[in-house]
Amino acid sequence: MSKMTLMTRFLTFRTELATLWRAFLAPETPIHLKALMLLVPAYLLSPIDLVPDFIPVLGWVDDLVIVPLMVGMIVKMLPQPIRATSRGARADDKVIDGSYRRR
């Protein structure tokens, strides 16, 4: 598995945020996933964290790690047709659900 640079991860995170926003606005997205999407900003605004924010650096570092992990996890939980249309594909495009391995 190749190492992902910080800039690549940031660009991926931006794309995942846009995907979540479009999926949140889509009526076919399941309610439980929309509720999970609301937990991301709730975690950022909540005074209850894994590491409290008043600890100088560690309080912010846990937010910088946990929020992208939550966003990536929710994007992976989205059904494939919703994920494809949320990323900008048209509704009449065919979506093939599957996985592949690269050797």
77 assigned to some structural domain = yes
**Which residues form the domain of 21?**
15-85
Surface-to-core class of residue 83, CB atoms within 10 Å of its CB (0-12 exposed, 13-18 middle, 19+ buried) = buried
Residue 102 resides in a domain = no
Q: Are 23 and 78 a contacting pair, CB within 8 Å?
A: yes
The residue among 7, 8, 12 whose CA lies nearest residue 69 is: 12
Residue 97 has phi, psi (to 5 degrees) of -90, 125
As for how many domains the chain has, the answer is 1
pLDDT per residue of the chain (103 residues) written in tens, 0 to 9: 456 687 788 888 888 999 999 999 989 999 999 999 999 999 888 877 777 777 778 878 888 888 899 999 999 999 888 887 776 655 555 656 666 666 6
Quote the pLDDT of residue 20: 92
Give the pLDDT score at 39.
Answer: 92
Size of the chain, expressed as the number of residues it contains: 103
Q: What is the pLDDT of residue 10?
A: 80
- pLDDT score of 56: 78
Q: Which residues of 59-74 are buried (b: 16+ CB within 10 A; e: fewer)?
A: eeebbeebbbebbeeb
Task: Examine residue 45 and state whether it is found in any structural domain, yes or no.
Answer: yes
Residue 91 lies in a domain: no
State residue 66's pLDDT score.
87
Q: Is there a domain that residue 81 lies in?
A: yes
Is 2 within the bounds of a domain? no
- Is 10 within a domain? no
58 in any annotated domain: yes
* pLDDT for res 60: 80
